[in-house]
Structure 1
């Protein structure tokens, strides 16, 4: 499903460029290949370079997991003792047991995920499949645009089909703006996090930058998802408190920049959805459809908005 969505996003991003060449009498298939072939050539290279760096960082991270566990347990013990000194009635054994249990689950999840990613030949096949399916799905979306539009148009009676064409054009423009804005914001956020952590001397900056960029595809919630592993990695250094302050400063600063400048300028202009509306549809999508509901909540809302606007305007 993920390669399908990525291919759709690439198709929407390239569609204006393809349409531009098509209007200048260049066959659509050739226009698609002009812009898609560079993507096909560059995407695997970038993927391989990033993956090689991530694998190296993951290997180092796995080696330091026992040390991180000791650090977290030590800091938990200090906090528990301070709370007891303040007269707060807590059971140290229960707290320690809870912390250990959660750490065990986290570590188990990390190793399970890594194991699933790296299952030898099966993992290689999945990577190759994704590298092939993403550009292929993008090509099919771009080349079969008219067939897809015809299918949707034929769902309505003949007298309304001209208006449906207008609706499809408006919908395509809105979705294209959203996908382009999301991709741009994802790249900017990943770069800001990774580059700033590198400047501050935080290890695994590449891994954290990639996680921040990828998670940013889920509005609002993605920030929390990317912040949690950063905090865990902060415990890996000999001076975890200093690193945790640096990491928290970077993530809070980036989030403020995104909320007050990057988000309104990039996503706000592209999707034209109020942040409160975005949060509501994310909650509803996650509650009803889980992960995919969260991922597709905003594009689905854009579709519904355009359809309702058209319905109210023409009273179909």
Structure 2
């Protein structure tokens, strides 16, 4: 066993290209893990720079200079985002206040539903079990309310950080796009000379990251807009607030859709009860999720949907635990990076192992 491990280690890690690749990835992961708080604006700027690189490149091909193209795209992007935020945030905030105001009556209605269960299901569930469930739910609600209050108080002190993001991120996005070639050359100069394998992995991942960020933004907008139209047609309360939640739920593959279903079902249940309207709304919402998972996602992420759902969920949990929100957002590209690294590593040709394999095959044929 030890001889086999030694031979495997010698074959796989004797190549300096492999060692360089693994050391580079390790240093990058550790740097982001330990410095993610300080590097937050930089990571946000890089994500937006990837998003805006496509229109900047198209304008540059039309004959405009890189500086003019970058200026036009960044100004247009900031204007569009500002208009969207000014049109959505006030209405969503108002609906959130209404939801907070109506929440106590919704909770009381839920308790009345639960208290009727012992009469509806005699011998299956008892009144004591219902009372215990209600008491546990009240304790959890009180704890959650305290956490929300502490979070809101802490957010006051985070106002300075928000202002820093609003100022620094657009500036960094502009220079990342304008000086892309010089910055890339400077970064490449920091890498070791033995970087053929790094270049192979990077060339495979660079286009995937760009397409992923652009596709994820489009998915949020499309799913959120369609959900808002459907909720409005049904007359669902807090339609805009719930549609925003559904739109951002696509950031977390598979898990986000399940989490977004709960508030929609609760609001619809308290608004209509167990009626036909409730069933039709949940059916329409299920159709939206089915179209998103089976039509929209394959169209937008054709290069990464070959990952098994189990691997994607594991990547969300693992990278989310390491890097927080950005780990969740980039879970699929990071999983693709791991896959590309393993593929590049496995495709390396090692003379010792190849000759051994060839001799074995020759003996087998003979």
TM class by shorter chain equals 0.7 to 0.9
1:210 paired to 2:244: yes
State the Cα RMSD in Å.
3.1
1:149 paired to 2:184: yes
In 2, distance between residues paired with 1:149 and 1:308? 25
In 2, distance between residues paired with 1:183 and 1:141? 20
In 2, distance between residues paired with 1:141 and 1:302? 24
Question: Which whole-Å deviations, capped at 9, do the CAs of 1:178-235 have from their partners, x for residues lacking one?
Answer: 1111111111111121110110010111001111111211211111222222233235
In 2, distance between residues paired with 1:291 and 1:127? 16
| Alignment partner, residue 99 of structure 1 | 137
In 1, distance between residues paired with 2:82 and 2:158? 15
Higher Cα Rg, which structure: 2
Question: Which whole-Å deviations, capped at 9, do the CAs of 1:54-107 have from their partners, x for residues lacking one?
Answer: 111112112111111111111111224434x13446533322212322343455
Q: Which moved more, 1:241-250 or 1:25-34?
A: 241-250
Gaps of 5+ in 2: 1-36, 351-366
1:17 paired to 2:55: yes
| Alignment partner, residue 261 of structure 2 | 227
Count of residue pairs the alignment pairs up? 310
Identify which of 72, 90, 108 aligns with 2:110.
72
Identify which of 65, 77, 97 aligns with 1:27.
65
Identify which of 163, 166, 171 aligns with 1:136.
171
In 2, distance between residues paired with 1:226 and 1:207? 11
| Alignment partner, residue 37 of structure 1 | 75
| Alignment partner, residue 206 of structure 2 | 172
1:245 CA displacement = 3.1
Helix, strand or coil at the partner of 1:255: helix
| Alignment partner, residue 86 of structure 1 | 123
In 1, distance between residues paired with 2:146 and 2:284? 28
1:181 paired to 2:215: yes
Q: 1:19 to 1:129 in 2, by over 3 A?
A: same
Q: 1:123 to 1:54 in 2, by over 3 A?
A: farther
In 2, distance between residues paired with 1:207 and 1:29? 38
